[in-house]
Copies of this chain bind each other. A is one copy, B any other.
């Protein structure tokens, strides 16, 4: 019997995946589990867009063009104008979710063993996409103590080797919720210009920036027009994760040509999903305003509750729908498992993602978690009640002196 590949054995997985069987078991035993571990929003997909799918009258569900439906690509360029981005339809290639956009970007821009610098913690699936493309991720470390803002230029420069071909960021960030300002992006652009690097920016959360912060797209950086590759998706924007429709946007003609070649290989992005995606662009702006206001309320709940938990370090995230928190515990993985297996508050518990899997540097994030605020505020309050009580009761909680000394050292 033939053996599977070494890479097939070692696909890097999302940090919460191994906890899923324990969550299932908890639910089977009658416990309610608040899922704050995954970015699957409970927000409704725009009814108008779903209605447009129901209104289709095609006879043959054909391949769309490999680059995506011409009408959708054109309409996306109008959407981008909302963020003052001027691109033409040829600069937008429709993909099967942002997942495929990232894969195409890696394949088109990087050869085997090339390196890409990624601030950590980062979206853990980047590891898997890097494995498929056989490229290496070199992390630069961010810290919870300043809300995970980007490290300074020196830290990036230190990470650059002769194999470095690009810098990859997510703005606003998953898993930290950190919002990167125009100035931070300009510093990265300067580096990319100086060292001739691609700047990959995953902007799938661009709609969700809070406190009046204005999103600044990497496509508006000057002097690096050919360096910037933006990865996009409708999954989070319109709560349409199952549509599997994303995009890669760049002004670099050689990259567009290479991405088009990879797109042609897999023939076509999903046809029905593109009908939905095109329809989302006619959804009234009030939809997005309401969704954004809802996420802002949820963020406030989570931040307020975390701030009031003794020994917990967190910060007010500026965007997306995630935050990180540092807990006064021995191990987030053990804690998350314990919450599912051994804890409940009035029959309920909460599932979080252990932080370690979001770091590439071994040993980091062991007492941190990612919290996705994808439930309504009532459910979030209840989930925070569970978390608060769980942290009090957890046998691996660090002693009060230890917490104080950690807090002092962090100041």
Contacts and interface: CB of A to CB of B under 8 A. Distances in A.
A237 to B, nearest CB: 12
A345 interface: no
Interface stretch (A59-67, A147-155, A170-178, A395-403): A59-67
Given A14-B264, A50-B58, 10 more contacts: A2-B227, A4-B252, A5-B114, A5-B258, A40-B63, A44-B60, A45-B59, A62-B241, A242-B272, A270-B270
A310 to B, nearest CB: 36
A369 interface: no
A159 interface: no
A71 B165 CA distance: 44
Contacts of A242: 61-64, 268, 270-272
Nearest to A14: B264
In this complex, the interface size class of chain A, counting residues with CB under 8 Å from chain B, is 35 or more
A108 B276 contact: no
A139 interface: no
Interface stretch (A74-82, A125-133, A328-336, A381-389): A125-133
* Copies of this chain present: 2
Interface stretch (A93-101, A209-217, A359-367): A93-101
B107 A132 contact: yes
6 contacts: A2-B192, A3-B254, A7-B111, A9-B258, A128-B261, A270-B272
A171 to B, nearest CB: 20
Contacts of A7: 107, 111-112
A108 B4 contact: yes
Interface in A179-235: 192, 196-198, 226-227
Contact of A272 (B13, B53, B134): B53
Contacts of A255: 4, 8
A144 interface: no
A119 interface: no
A293 to B, nearest CB: 18
